[in-house]
């Protein structure tokens, strides 16, 4: 029977590519989304992957959403904490709402989702938790103190939960993408985009599929000796 994978923010951008890659690797995939019904329905029609709408920043909503996934597909074996938003501005102009909304969606969601699958994984003696962090969680970024704090928090979360669950057959790892050619990034003015690409030694933006391949690797049964790690996929832009 196919292992079940849940991808949060799984219908658009990097999550879209991750969901498809896991499906193509033989997983039974559930794609979570938060609000864009039109995009989610188009994704479902395109891929045949079932979609589940719930707010990963809300613990009770997440609990109910995961229960629905497990009722339909079975226990979650692979969790990809991918959901994320940006609300960019410098700290001296940042409202509490811009801070809190990013922390809720990008960081609290990892607790909400992982907490609701980890006991089952421990009981079954197998699990894969993969957190999508960011290059900006490693090096910081002007105008992104909220986003960088959340993405850095995911790395600390990953290392701690990995230690707690390694003896139970569960691995917990993070991936830190650099600049990826999603619709959001490609909408940046061309002169700004050119400056970004000049900072990337391999000479190009990443593609969502580059990150998806990292997820498939870490999700595999054969990756059981890798835990508590951060896989940096940024074309050499930042080397830690």
Euclidean distance between the first and final Cα of the chain, in Å? 39
Among the listed residues 27, 33, 52, 147, the single catalytic one is 147
**Residue 142 among the catalytic residues:** no
Dump the DSSP string for the chain.
-PPEEEETTTTSHHHHHHHHHHHHTT-EEEEEESS-HHHHHHHHHHH---EEE--TTSHHHHHHHHHHHHHHH-SEEEEEE---------GGG--HHHHHHHHIIIIIHHHHHHHHHHHHHHHHT-EEEEEE--HHHHH--TT-HHHHHHHHHHHHHHHHHHHHHGGGTEEEEEEEE-SB--HHHHTS-HHHHHHHHHT-TTSS-B-HHHHHHHHHHHHSGGGTT--S-EEEESTTS---
Q: 117 near 6, Cβ under 8 Å? A: yes
Tokens representing 81 are 């904490």
Active site residues: 147
């Amino acid at each position: 029977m196919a292992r079940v994978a849940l991808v949060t923010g799984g219908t658009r951008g990097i999550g879209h590519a991750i969901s498809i890659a896991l499906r193509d690797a033989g997983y039974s995939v559930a794609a979570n989304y938060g609000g864009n019904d039109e995009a989610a329905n188009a994704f479902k029609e395109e891929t045949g992957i079932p979609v589940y709408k719930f707010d990963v920043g809300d613990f009770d909503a997440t609990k109910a959403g995961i229960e629905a996934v497990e009722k339909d597909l079975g226990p979650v074996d692979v969790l990809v904490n991918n959901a994320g938003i940006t609300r960019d501005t410098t700290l001296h102009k940042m409202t509490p709402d811009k801070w809190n909304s990013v922390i809720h969606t990008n960081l609290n969601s990892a607790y909400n989702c992982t907490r609701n699958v980890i006991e089952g994984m421990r009981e079954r003696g197998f699990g894969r938790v993969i957190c999508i962090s960011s290059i900006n969680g490693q090096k910081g970024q002007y105008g992104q103190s909220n986003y960088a704090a959340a993405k850095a928090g995911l790395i600390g979360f990953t290392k701690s939960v990995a230690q707690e669950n390694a003896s139970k057959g569960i691995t917990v790892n993070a991936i830190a993408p650099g600049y990826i050619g999603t619709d959001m990034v490609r909408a940046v003015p061309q002169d700004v985009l050119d400056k970004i690409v000049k900072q990337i030694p391999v000479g190009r933006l990443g593609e969502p599929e580059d990150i998806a391949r990292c997820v498939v690797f870490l999700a595999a049964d054969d990756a059981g000796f890798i835990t508590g790690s951060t896989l940096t996929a940024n074309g050499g832009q930042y080397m830690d």
